[in-house]
Amino acid sequence: MSLYKNKKKEILDASLWLSAHGYFGSLRGSGGNVSVRVDVNSMAITPSSVKYNDISVDDICIVGLDNKAIEVKDGLKPSVEAGLHSIVYANRSDVHAVVHTHQIYGSVFAIINTPIPALFDEVSFALGKTIEVIPYALSGSPELAANVGSKLANNANAYIIQNHGILALGKTLDKAILHAELLEKVAHIYYLALSTGKPVCELPPSISDLAAALRDSEVTQTMNKNK
């Protein structure tokens, strides 16, 4: 029995839920990817080019943050976005799970290259003062991983990837999925609000600044504990 079976099952269950609820953009495809931190030097991640309904626990890959295989089933490869996930774990020790999806309304803002401002206090406290856009680079490329790395210092838990999809982070996989849900909620509402042509009312700066300060403090404390 794999030493990593619990982590693998956690990822499989999460991936099936995300797929069934439309977060990967298609039910028959293999887009998007999910990972959890195993320890300071490794992660578990979904395999590349396998339909979610066909994935088994044993198909989930264990790789180092240097992207070297630790436990990978014969015939499979880790997600092409493993580098994107590893750069998050290397730079944010407060993060223990990463979800990369192609959800519909989040992707709208990916193709119009538009960040989502602070609109609700629960979203601002959970995700970030602004859901920023990570510049485009080819899927699976070192350039895309580097672009992700360049945004992580804002301590947010969600990002939009230009012409691609979204990225949600969390202390647990359940939290990362919740953050993907919250991003989709606010993206959907923002889209509808913009379509009215009326001014969009953002949160008062004092509230969004407070949320940012509290989140920065929480991230710093967690990262200090993990040193």
Q: Is the dihedral of CA 21, 99, 194, 202 positive or negative?
A: positive
Query: What is the per-residue pLDDT across 188-214, written as a single tens digit (0 to 9) for each?
Result: 999 999 999 999 999 999 988 888 888
Q: Which of 10, 71, 81, 181 is catalytic?
A: 81
Give catalytic status of residue 71 as yes or no.
no
* Single pTM value for the model: 0.94
Query: What is the per-residue pLDDT across 96-145, written as a single tens digit (0 to 9) for each?
Result: 999 999 999 999 999 999 999 989 999 999 999 899 999 999 999 999 99
Burial class of residue 100, CB neighbours in 10 A (0-12, 13-18, 19+)? buried
CA distance 114 to 131: 9
Write out the residue range of the structural domain in which residue 60 sits: 5-225
Name the DSSP letter for residue 226.
Answer: T
- Name the average pLDDT for the chain: 94
User: How far are the Cα atoms of 181, 186, 195 from residue 200, in angstroms, in the given order?
Assistant: 21, 12, 10
Number of domains in the chain: 1
CB atoms within 10 A of CB 140: 15
* CATH classification at residue 209: 3.40.225.10
Token pair listed for 7: 């982590």
